[in-house]
Amino acid sequence: MMEALTLEQGSVLVKTKFLKYFALSKINYFNRSAYLTNLFCSAAVIVLRIWIFTQLFRASYSSAGVGSIGGLSVGAAIWSLMLTQSFSSALRPSVMTTIEEEVKNGSLAYSII
C-alpha cells in the first residue's frame, strides 16, 4: 500500500526533479554552444529566411494595395513568421543527434548498404 508523502519528502522530490532537469538543460546548452560556428550559421540562416519572407510579404501587400490580408498586417505577419521560425529551429533535432540515434539503433548501417 502506498504511503502518503510528507511535506518534507515532497519538497525533496520536487527539488531533485528540478535539479535533474536543470542539469539536463545546462548540458544541452553547452552542447549546442560548443560549436559556435554552427550556432552562428544556423542563426544566420534564420535571419536570411526572415529577410526573404519580409521582402515577399511587403511585395505581396503592396501589389494587393491593402494594409492587411486575412487580418494580418505586414508587421504581424513578420512577427508570426519569426515566432514559427524560432519554434521550428528550437525543436528540430541537431544533425549530430540524428546521426547518434541512427548509429544506436542500427538504421545507419542499413541505409548505407
Q: Could you report the per-residue pLDDT of 30-58, keeping only the tens digit for each? A: 877 777 787 788 788 888 988 998 999 89
With pLDDT > 70 as the criterion, what percentage of the chain qualifies?
Answer: 85
The rounded distance, in Å, linking the Cα atoms of 91 and 87 is 6
pLDDT score for 5: 63
* Closest alpha carbon to 73 in 88, 60, 87: 60
Is there a contact between 13 and 5 (Cβ–Cβ < 8 Å)? yes
Torsion of CA 96, 22, 40, 47, to 10 degrees: 110
